[in-house]
């Protein structure tokens, strides 16, 4: 991971990353990495995507710009405090991950909340 890229854009944390190529989290991580973003992957299953390991614990990191969610709301409560403690600039709730309670907590901390598809955002230059 390029230190220069991290310093310029911040880290993108993909929550719910899967080594399964048919999953949207896999596709988003692949595109983020191919576009040169500093992406860290967090998921429940070990593996890697484009050479980047999938971690089974949320990394204790700084300089997180974006958290992009690929985890259903019923599984988010266990990780919400840890993710908010990273102080990201924004959280993207991809389709099916929308969580009003999590979004409200994020907004109270000044975190931008976006309900959109990361893949569409990347394809249209809105990321």
Q: Could you count the other beta carbons within 10 Å of the beta carbon of residue 20?
A: 12
Rounded to whole angstroms, how far apart are CA atoms 68 and 109?
A: 17
**68, exposed or middle or buried, with CB in 10 Å at 0-12, 13-18, 19+?**
buried
Mean pLDDT of 71-79: 96
CATH number at residue 64: 3.40.50.720
Question: What would you report as the CA-atom Rg of the chain, rounded to the nearest whole angstrom?
Answer: 13
Q: Is residue 31 part of a domain?
A: yes
Q: What is the pLDDT of residues 16-35, one digit of tens each?
A: 999 999 999 999 999 999 99
Q: Is residue 37 part of a domain?
A: yes
Rounded to whole angstroms, how far apart are CA atoms 19 and 71?
A: 14
Q: Is residue 39 part of a domain?
A: yes
Mean pLDDT of 3-27: 82
Q: Total structural domains in the chain?
A: 1
**106, exposed or middle or buried, with CB in 10 Å at 0-12, 13-18, 19+?**
buried
Q: What is the pLDDT of residues 81-120, one digit of tens each?
A: 999 999 999 999 999 999 999 999 999 999 999 999 999 9
Could you tell me the pTM of the whole model? 0.91
Report the pLDDT value the prediction gives residue 9, as an integer from 0 to 100: 67
Report the pLDDT value the prediction gives residue 5, as an integer from 0 to 100: 40
Rounded to whole angstroms, how far apart are CA atoms 86 and 58?
A: 10
Q: Which domain holds residue 30?
A: 3-71+87-99+111-116
Rounded to whole angstroms, how far apart are CA atoms 92 and 94?
A: 6
- Report the DSSP beta bridge partners of residue 42: 15, 55
Q: Is residue 76 part of a domain?
A: no
Q: What is the pLDDT of residues 43-66, one digit of tens each?
A: 999 999 999 999 999 988 889 999
């Amino acid at each position: 991971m390029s230190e220069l890229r991290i310093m310029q854009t911040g880290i993108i944390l993909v929550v719910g990353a899967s080594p399964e190529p048919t999953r949207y989290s896999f596709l988003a991580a692949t595109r983020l990495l191919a576009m040169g973003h500093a992406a860290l992957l967090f998921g429940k299953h070990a593996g890697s995507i484009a050479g980047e390991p999938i971690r089974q614990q949320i990394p204790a990191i700084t300089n997180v710009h974006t958290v992009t969610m690929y985890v259903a709301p019923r599984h988010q409560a266990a990780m919400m405090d840890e993710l908010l403690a990273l102080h990201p600039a924004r959280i993207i709730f991809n389709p099916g991950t929308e969580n009003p309670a999590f979004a409200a907590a994020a907004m109270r901390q000044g975190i931008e909340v976006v309900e959109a598809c990361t893949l569409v955002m990347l394809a249209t230059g809105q990321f």
